[in-house]
Amino acid sequence: MTEARLPQELEEQAALFALGLLEPDDRRAFAVRLQGESLPLRQATTAYRAVAEALASGVAPVAPGPTLRERLVSRIAHEAARETAQFESVANTLALSAAPVAPRASLRERVLAHIGKLGDPQLQMESAFTFLRTSELEWQEISPGTFVKVLHNDTANARATVLCRMEPGSMYGSHRHAQMEELFVLEGTCHCAGRLMHAGDYHRAEAGSVHPPTSTKTGSLMLVISSTQNQPLS
């Protein structure tokens, strides 16, 4: 088909390429080869493309008859049903061949108890509330003469709600607030940020502010809501 004789393998690849029958990897490799300097290969490929286009344009499209279409659709549906039945058969066989495993009694009881809680409105309501008896909590000393009982520790937001007890004559050191701090005096008196506070008094310090040392002569009991990341300064 060309003036220069190509090797038989290249001649066949040119024909297959023109007909669109090469495998994807072979097609890409052949396309790269066409960009080279082999004029005979390009000529052969062009000639085969012309023949393929002539054959395609010379054949009138034929619509399948209605009976052929119905047979094809029926065949496809039959194959789909057969594959579905085969899959179900295999699944059933696997399920029947698996020996049942009985859970241990302790695990069974825990699962049943959990299921029971999910359906118990009273337990659901109780899980939404928290109660503490502060008399049962231990005082923790955070500085000489200053003790706290942690009522709530919000680790996600680095905040805590505590009862704070300062003994008479004690002092709590200066610190910088990482977040807003709130203080409510429950008993006694204390000097806080230069003010004498009595039972029933409320104080708030904004984020970034610095508290000078807090002290008490009489002793004091306070409710404090503050950051757990305050910066000690003294």
Report how far residue 163's alpha carbon sits from residue 153's, in angstroms, rounded to the nearest whole number: 12
Higher pLDDT, 136 or 75: 136
Q: pLDDT digit string (tens) for 94-138?
A: 555 445 555 556 666 666 666 665 556 665 566 678 899 999 999
Over residues 84-99, mean pLDDT: 57
Please state, as a whole number, how many other Cβ atoms lie within 10 Å of the Cβ of residue 226.
22
Tell me which architecture the domain covering 8-58 has in CATH.
Answer: Orthogonal Bundle (1.10)
Q: Which CATH number is associated with domain 134-232?
A: 2.60.120.10
Check residue 1 and give its pLDDT.
44
174 close to 198: Cβ distance less than 8 angstroms? no
For the chain, give every residue range classified as CATH 2.60.120.10: 134-232
Report how far residue 13's alpha carbon sits from residue 30's, in angstroms, rounded to the nearest whole number: 8
Over residues 5-31, mean pLDDT: 79
pTM across the whole model:
0.48
**For residue 222, is pLDDT > 80?**
yes
Q: How many residues does the chain have?
A: 234
| CA angle (41, 42, 47) in 5-degree steps | 100
Report how far residue 224's alpha carbon sits from residue 146's, in angstroms, rounded to the nearest whole number: 13
For the chain, give every residue range classified as CATH 1.10.10: 8-58
